[in-house]
Structure 1
Amino acid sequence: MKRQRRSFTPEFKLEAAFGFGSMLVALRLPQLLEHFSERRVMLSGLVVLIVGQITGAMFAQGYYALLLVWLVMGAGYSLVQTPTSKILVRSATAIERPALFAAHFSLSHAGWMLAYPVAGWLMTAMDAYSAFIVLAVVSTTGVILTSILWPASDEAPKSHRHDDLSDDHEHLKYYGHGDQHSHPHVVDALHSKWSR
């Protein structure tokens, strides 16, 4: 009996290109994050996504060009999404982490629940060029808002004190006792407000 060759659909190939781009970056991220901050890597990922969307607008008619676009989009996605876990771990104690990761999961999936249908609707309601341009404009707005809401000054360790904590509190045990201590910017129950 002759075995039939399995043929992959064009959609599967696009998804594979996206996944391949994502994995290529994910495997290199530990080294990248040793040299660059999460903020810089994630903002770079947004820029890569915008480049992918603009490239998609320019070459949307060719299937092989779209494969390249999806590869670039996968790389950008991984740069934006993967470092999030480092930020979440740093921003919560072990007890708070499950709730923080659950909140992140819910919010990110709510964003996807809105974005995927909008992207699909744009592709059917207008031509691919216009849809990619609209998505690039939305992504550019995201880069601008992120740069404003997450300033570069947040990357530097902050010197501060906790007069309300007991000497045996785990935070003070980890970062040291005394009037002042410093560590990277986090937003958690102990650091709801930071001086800029």
Structure 2
Amino acid sequence: MNAFTPFRSLRKPVFARLYMAQTTNLLGDALTWVGLALLAFELAGKTSAVVLSGALTLRIAAFVLLSPLAGAIADRLDRKKILVITHLARMLIVSLLPFVTQIWQIYALIFSLNVFNAFFTPTYQATIPLVTGQNDYPQAIALSSATYQLLGVLGPGIAGGVAALIGARQVFFLDALTFLIAAVLILTLPGQLRVQPSPSNSATKGRTWRDIKNGTKRLFTDAPIRYALAMQLVASIAGAQILVNTVGYVQGTLKLGNVEYGWVMAAFGIGATISAVAFGAASKRLARTTFMLLGAALVTLALLPANYVGLAPLMILWLVAGMGQNLVNLPAQTLIADRIPADAQGRVYGAHFAWSHLWWGLSYPLAGWLGSNFGDRTFLYGSLVGLVLLVAVQLTLSPQQHEREHEHKSMWHEHEHLHEEHHQHEHPEGFVGEPHSHSHQHLAMRHSHPYKSDLHHLHSY
């Protein structure tokens, strides 16, 4: 496998700019959460963990409640405007955090911040296939995920050093600057990032609610995507165990310190980064469902012996678990781009973002309950719960080959054309009247008539 394959997607100038904006945004996120942890300790002292857990709960609540709406809007409006507005709004919100004096103010601002995160993330995810086309979008998604995982490892350390240098509250001003830079990068993109809707999606009363329901319906009626969502529940069971109970095992059972805990969690992040690069290089060689089954097995089995090992074996297990976690999540994103028409991908990404975070909302309490009641066997029991669920999902929801091929057939290709009577569609300024090429998608929708099908044309640049 060529480890540099994911970087080929940066040849697309629009995606390259979006990727730079995302990387800047992720650095800002690291500053946000390190600054928030320090602020919570400043205001709440020993009960700061309660404040942070409350903030995480509000984060998930915002994602579950608003991401489906965000996805529906992303199918209708210029996505560039949505991305810019969400960055500027978050810039203003984090600029208020240095002035917080009460706990409730933290809750209010964090919920507000994640309202706009709920609009940003599904819109960004749905935009990647739009601007890269068929050949490059799996690698582009993998590169974005690898960057997310790598900065998840390095970002807190960078943010901690910055906080020590300029002060905990001042971190938020630098955080706001990263959002501003990302907004400018997106604002300077040429043209629009907008999908041309099919005729059936013309504006009608109640359309937004129908789009929201349609996004969830597509998740659960498409067999491979439904399987992917269920596998993400399996992965979240194990992932929550790692995020919630690792610190207790490392510092309580093994009697080690913060540094060793950091090493273990870094191994988890590095494993996720490695698997993102590997998926980008091998995504065309194996079925998406094969990646997900392998990933769910890895992350679940890695927990099985974890309560009985020392530091070095635990780091190896968490490296494997990180690889498994991402081998479930990445194919789930690319399946949506594979199987959903371009003018409906926003609402499906939004629904997927909401449901996948709902799984974590269920898995976190389970991990906390196991950790508080079975501290010396929490990883073992968490692994057994995950394995039972994995077997159930595989036996009941694993899609058959014919289901993967024939629900929606999406055919992307690039071709050159001139505008004429029978071929008209909108372009960014400067394209009209000139021969040019762009990604072109035909969607073959199955009908009851054995000899007919409708072809809808969708375009991206």
Q: Does 2:265 correspond to 1:15?
A: yes
Per-residue deviation, 1:153: 3.0
Q: Is there any run of 5+ residues in structure 1 with no aligned partner, and where?
A: 1-5, 162-167, 182-196
Contact 2:306 2:317 survives alignment (8 Å): yes
Q: CA RMSD in A?
A: 3.2
Aligned to 1:85: 333
Partner of 2:443: 171
Equivalent residues of 1:56, 1:66 under 8 A apart: yes
1:66 maps to what in 2?
314
Aligned to 1:190: none
Select the structure that is richer in helix. Answer: 2
Whether 1:25 and 2:297 are equivalent positions in the alignment is no
Residue 18 of structure 1 deviates from its aligned partner by 0.7
Aligned residue in 1 for 2:297: 47
- 1:8 CA displacement: 5.9
TM (norm. structure 2) is 0.32
Partner of 1:100: 348
Aligned length: 164
Identity of aligned residues (%): 24
CA drift of 1:155 comes to 6.1
Question: Per-residue CA shift, 1:57-88, capped at 9, x if unaligned?
Answer: 442xx222222221111011011111111111
Aligned equivalents of 1:127, 1:80: Cα separation in 2: 27
Q: Which one of the candidate residues 377, 380, 384 is aligned to 1:133? A: 380
Structure 2 counterpart of 1:46, which letter? A
CA distance in 2, matches of 1:140, 1:37: 22
**Structure 2 residue runs without a partner (length 5+):** 1-163, 165-256, 410-422, 424-440, 454-461
TM normalised by structure 1 equals 0.71
Q: For the Cα contact (< 8 Å) 2:408–2:443, is it kept in 1? A: no
Pair 132,47 (structure 1): closer, same or farther in 2 beyond 3 Å? same
1:139 CA displacement: 1.5
Alpha carbons 2:303, 2:382 under 8 Å: kept: yes
The code of the aligned residue for 1:105 comes to F
Within 5 A, what are the aligned runs for 1:145-164?
A: 145-147=392-394, 148-154=396-402, 157-158=405-406
User: Structure 1 residue 31: deviation in Å?
Assistant: 2.8
Larger radius of gyration: 2
Counterpart Cα distance in 1 of 2:268 and 2:408: 43
In structure 2, the residue corresponding to 1:36 is in which secondary structure?
Answer: coil
- Report how far residue 23 of structure 1 moved: 0.5
Task: Report Cα offsets for 1:159-180 as digits up to 9, x if no partner.
Answer: 999xxxxxx995249xxxx827
Could you tell me how far apart the structure 2 residues matched to 1:64 and 1:160 are?
47
Q: 1:90 to 1:180 in 2, by over 3 A?
A: farther
Bigger mean CA offset, 20-29 vs 135-144: 135-144
Report the Cα offset of residue 111 of structure 1. Answer: 0.8
Cα distance in structure 2, aligned partners of 1:11 and 1:117: 22
Alignment partner of 1:83: what SS?
A: helix
> Once the 2 structures are TM-superposed, how far is the Cα of residue 154 of structure 1 from its aligned partner?
4.8
What's the CA shift for 1:34? 1.8
Distance in 2 between residues matched to 1:102 and 1:34, nearest whole Å: 25
Q: How far apart are the structure 2 equivalents of 1:49 and 1:159?
A: 30
